[in-house]
Amino acid sequence: MNRVDYLRISLIDRCNFQCQYCMPEGADLAYVQRQDILTQDELLRLIREVFIPCGFTRFRLTGGEPLLRPDVVQIVGAIARLPQTQDLAMTTNGFRLAEMAQDLYDAGLRRINISLDSLDASIFDTIIGNKGKTRWQQVWSGIQTAYTVGFDPLKLNVVVVPGVNDHEVLDLAALSIERAWHVRFIEFMPIGNAGLFGDRGWVSSEELRQRIRARWGLSEGEVRGNGPADVFQIPGAKGTLGFISQMSECFCDRCNRMRLSADGWLRPCLLNESGQIDLKTLLREGRSLHDARQAVQHLLDIKPDINFKERDPGTEGIYNRTMSQIGG
């Protein structure tokens, strides 16, 4: 088990997209009320006085869509200025990135992941749940702006859904050849969306690698990051290709992260809530943060025994929510 020093922080559970694999149409989404979301002061206090003393030095801001949070630039700046912060990154759908990329970079953000599930505007808009609206170009502009501003590495996240966008894998992989873009193919996970795409299931990372290898060849690559991707590179390419294989290749033994939800719940696993801690209530009741540190340390101690592949779906402590409500 790797050292757990990486915290994914959900700033908000709302999103301006409704991606089918994340927020299936008709899903009963119970959004967190504004007063129940951690304030900026509460979040920063937890980082300074609980998470850093417990050994966390790497942070990723997520959502929902983090750029919908009005104080996101201020939060980025505050975390980036902490002397203990070794790495700060963000995952975004990119829709507001063209207007915000420079401010985020100036505040101290250097690494960014942007969702780009298709190069076809009509397929893209179908996946993100737009009805009569075209948003692909706005996202593409955000990607271009982030690259120009200087984000490095700049990663593009592609959730591969069979029968929907898997035929674009080679075109998406080609984005890594001429520019230092790092394309990451993510196996589709049936979370809160079982049956959404019929019986098509998911496409394994190894199958995708075989397709790419047959076209260009493929060698091992390297890119800075904290996640579970296996990294490869098309020979001569400026960027890399990452494969996140949570369905075909369990990587729980390599997990180095925990997740803090927008409403202050600390959870040890994407799909298993065993041992979760309600840090917001602890804060707002005025309890000692010594208690919080002890609780977090206990969760760190038991994390090696928490494995989402071996969970019992019928037991308490398992996610029954969509990906958007989990925080990714």
- Answer with the residue of higher pLDDT: 22 or 297: 297
Instruction: Choose among 186, 167, 163: nearest CA to 241.
Output: 186
- In the chain, what are the domains? 6-326 (3.20.20.70)
Sheet of strand 219-220, all strands in order from the earlier edge strand to the far edge: 219-220, 230-233, 240-244, 181-187, 154-160, 111-115, 87-92, 58-62, 6-10, 257-260, 265-267, 277-278
How many Cα neighbours within 13 Å face the side chain of 143? 23
Question: Contact 258/28 with Cβ under 8 angstroms?
Answer: no
Residue 195: pLDDT above 80?
A: no
Q: Please provide residue 327's backbone torsions phi and psi, each rounded to the nearest 5 degrees.
A: 105, 10
Query: 302 CB contacts (<8 Å, ≥6 apart)?
Result: 268, 274, 275
* CA 173 to centroid of chain Cα atoms: 20
Q: Three-state DSSP class for 91?
A: strand
Q: What is the pLDDT of residues 131-146, one digit of tens each?
A: 667 899 999 999 999 9
Q: What is the mean pLDDT of residues 159-171?
A: 94
Q: What is the pLDDT of residues 253-310, one digit of tens each?
A: 778 899 999 999 999 987 777 789 999 999 999 999 999 999 999 999 988 777 655 5
Using CA atoms, how far apart are residues 19 and 130, in angstroms rounded to an integer? 9
